[in-house]
Amino acid sequence: MILMLCGMLALLIGLTTLPLATVASAQAPEPSPRPPIQPTSDLNQRKPTAVVPGRLTGTVIDLRTGAPASGITVLVGEQALTSDANGNYDAWLVSGYYRLDLKLSATQGTATQPAQVVAVGPGDTVVVHLFFSSPAVTPEATQTVAPIAATPTAVVPTTVALPSLPDTSRVDVPAGMPQSLPNTAAPLGMGSPTTWILLGALLLGLSLVVQLAPRPRRRARLTRKRRVAKMSATRSDEQLLTDLLDEDL
């Protein structure tokens, strides 16, 4: 069994230390180098021309209040812009001439200046402020509501019925009636006193009988070792051996 275990252990060690066969990974062939592209004369001669835009900006101002107005439509050529919260408009445009005007609704007001043509050059910043007048705010008529008189409510008295109370007056007891009733209730489940007395006497008698009864004496028994020691002291070895053999038989 030990040899078998040693052989299995040696086989296990040999398998774990055996070198694994390496798998050669296939390498992808490198791509062939591409020939360089020779630039032609046309590509060298063609250069893009940078177009620099111009900027058109300004503020839309309400002449009635003197404050910038937000949400007003500004027409720049065919393009429609809307003024921001500060009343400003801003547009980046290709150089040229543009027609500038305000587009107002009836509730917003009327323009105080006609449409104008603005020239925007490359890289220029042209600032043009636009003015209009908003309609005046008419105060609204307030309607007065007459107060409504409160109608008094009649209070109806409520009658509450009192509950009847028990009679707690003192009652005189006649002299012939007993003041207290005799105790006639028997103890529940405990038995009579006589039964308990008899049971106690019986238990005491049984205990006295048990205490006064004579006890049997134990006989002293000598063990085999003590008997052998006693016999070896009084007899010879041959007699002792004979007695032991006879006792075993």
Rounded Cα distance between 55 and 120, Å, is 7
For 20, the enclosing helix (H) or strand (E) is none
What the chain holds in terms of domains, given with CATH numbers, is 54-133 (2.60.40.1120)
Instruction: Say if residues 146 and 168 touch (Cβ distance below 8 Å).
Output: no
pTM: 0.39
pLDDT for 29-79, tens place per residue?
565 566 666 666 555 556 667 788 999 999 999 999 999 999 999 999 999
Q: Report the candidate in 100, 78, 98 with the shortest Cα–Cα distance to residue 89.
A: 100
The better pLDDT of the pair 95, 245 is held by 95
Q: Which of 39-53, 85-99, 171-185, 204-218 has the highest mean pLDDT?
A: 85-99
pLDDT at 136: 85
3-class SS of residue 132: strand
Mean confidence (pLDDT) of the chain: 73
Got the DSSP string for 67-98? EE-SS-EEEETTEEEE--TTSEEEEEE-SEEE
CA trace torsion 108, 110, 111, 112 (10° rounding): -130
